[in-house]
Amino acid sequence: MQRRDFIGCGSAFIALAMMSNSATGATESPLSSTNRPAIKPITIKNIAIGAGKPRVIVSTTASDSAEVISFVREQATRNEVDIIELRLDLLHNGQDATAMAALTRELYALLPHKLLLATFRTKAEGGQQAIDDAGYAALYQQLLAQGELDLLDIEMYRAPSAVKSLIAQAHQQNVRVILSSHDFQQTPSQREIIARLRQQQMMGGDILKMAAMPHSPGDVIRMMSATWEMRQRYAHRPLLTMSMGGLGAVTRLCGELTGSALTFGMAGNASAPGQIEAARLHDVLTLLHQAAASDA
């Protein structure tokens, strides 16, 4: 870990401590460890999400299925990677439900000890392809019925009836759901970030995700503070939060402190702005985890 990483984390932690009670105008005292909500870790293939250091996700970025298969075969051997995200929207045939279900089966067979996350990130939330609600639902329905996967990312603001149905179908298939919200224009207020995460929890998400674009260090601190408040006061499910871009890189490193149980690393090309190379990310997460453990 380089000195600037420590400085960045340290500065953010100081600001987080100053803002944690004041950012939303809250007057309550912070909850103690005895009365805070209990987050039950999710364990799949002996990978626990929600306990210890954040788990590392890397995403596919290729537009061709053969390249995706080659990438996943390589990542399957890397100790620093826990989860592979298949980005369907980056594939030229990503809306071909039959082909995508077959691809998930092939990738799943390559990952006996890692998790497969399937995501169609819509253009409205920063992805490469637009898709209407009916097409989105049909694609995911076929993935769940005919594919093989461990996790499915569902955008919370798709058609409510489709989201509800997909969550139910995923749970019937023993697939865990990441309910997600992305804002590539700005960082919402702390109150709004928490409201979205709480709504995801009420909707039945297994992992609650919020990503936003910062325009100042204050935006980054607000995301970290919102994560901490959500973790302390409301969360029963693991969280996945981040500020995007280089400015938000600290949020990808410090999840064990703030309460974010997962983080995205980069292998090859980045799938979102601000990602850190997976091996370096893993090293920093391990170092911070060891430092925290020494105080226990």
Please tell me whether 59 is known to bind a ligand.
yes
- Cα 78 vs. chain centroid, distance in angstroms? 19
User: Known binder of ligand: residue 161?
Assistant: no
Containing H/E element for 276? strand 276-277
Q: Is 87 one of the annotated binding-site residues? A: yes
H-helix segments, 25-132: 65-75, 97-109
Tokens of 167: 């969550």
Q: What are the φ/ψ torsions at residue 106 (nearest 5 degrees)?
A: -65, -40
**53, 114, 182, 282: which is the annotated catalytic residue?**
182
Annotated binding-site residue? 216: no
Measure the CA–CA gap between 53 and 173, rounded to whole angstroms: 28
Catalytic site residue from 53, 114, 209, 282: 209
Provide the terminal-to-terminal Cα distance of the chain, rounded to the nearest Å: 22
How far is it, in rounded angstroms, from Cα 201 to Cα 236?
8
Q: Dihedral of the CA atoms 63, 66, 70, 72 (nearest 10)?
A: 60
Query: Any binding-site annotation on 277?
Result: no
Annotated binding residue at 33? no
* Residue tagged 């071909």 (tokens): 96
The annotation status of 78 as a binding-site residue, yes or no, is no
Provide the CB-side half-sphere exposure for 233 (13 A, CA): 19
Annotation says 114 is catalytic:
no
282 belongs to the catalytic site: no
Q: Is 169 annotated as a binding residue?
A: no
Single out the residue of 264, 268, 295 nearest to residue 281, CA to CA.
Answer: 264
Binding residues for 3-dehydroquinate: 59, 85-87, 121, 252, 271, 275
Residues annotated within a binding site: 59, 85-87, 121, 252, 271, 275
Question: Which residues carry out catalysis?
Answer: 182, 209
